[in-house]
Chains A and B, each alone.
Chain A
Amino acid sequence: AQTVTQSQPEMSVQEAETVTLSCTYDTSESDYYLFWYKQPPSRQMILVIRQEAYKQQNATENRFSVNFQKAAKSFSLKISDSQLGDAAMYFCAYNTPSNEKLTFGTGTRLTIIP
């Protein structure tokens, strides 16, 4: 069975600094997708970034980038130039081309220190 593990329940970072959130997963599939979702206090879950497993290049979206290590089954999220609006719960998630069901990690609560 696929599992997603986020080992950091809480993280904090100074505004304008860089922070990295960790995620590991377990799967026997060779083709899959990985996602980072953000859930601010307003509760709406928003997709931050996604990575296709067949792509070697790490995905980037403005200040957000990932470090995808397929062999190690690791998928960390780096947030550069942290802003107050980045404060939220961040969830790592996984699915496959044959199954749209998402498997989520338990989340990391990120606090931004002004």
Chain B
Amino acid sequence: ETGVTQTPRHLVMGMTNKKSLKCEQHLGHNAMYWYKQSAKKPLELMFVYNFKEQTENNSVPSRFSPECPNSSHLFLHLHTLQPEDSALYLCASSPGNWRGNHEQYFGPGTRLTVT
């Protein structure tokens, strides 16, 4: 596997379910990100991790819980979601060494539908 991978690609869940999204990067990067992409809205940054430490939580509701066990893996745990949380969730990574152009590499996304 190369680049940034995300599983599952599609997820349908009820409002009372608990599920997790997984992201893995094979680029040797140290920073990882979760974005939410809804129709007709700019990409919304949700969380940033640098060297496994959360450096940003962009006022995300607590029903979204991130976890970064190491620099290669990032999870987004979901519980008690609302229909308006239906969106494409994108994971990205970047070098995270505070130098260079901070180019981010994206995964294919998980299309989440909350019923």
User: A residues within 8 Å of B by Cβ?
Assistant: 33, 35, 37, 42-47, 50, 52, 91, 95, 97-102, 104-107
Contacts and interface: CB of A to CB of B under 8 A. Distances in A.
Contact of B43 (A91, A95, A98): A91
Contacts of A91: 43
A101 B103 contact: no
28 contacts: A33-B102, A33-B103, A35-B103, A43-B111, A44-B106, A44-B107, A44-B108, A44-B109, A46-B106, A47-B103, A47-B104, A47-B105, A91-B43, A95-B102, A97-B99, A100-B31, A100-B48, A100-B94, A100-B102, A100-B104, A101-B33, A101-B48, A104-B42, A104-B43, A106-B40, A106-B41, A106-B42, A107-B42
A33 B100 CA distance: 9
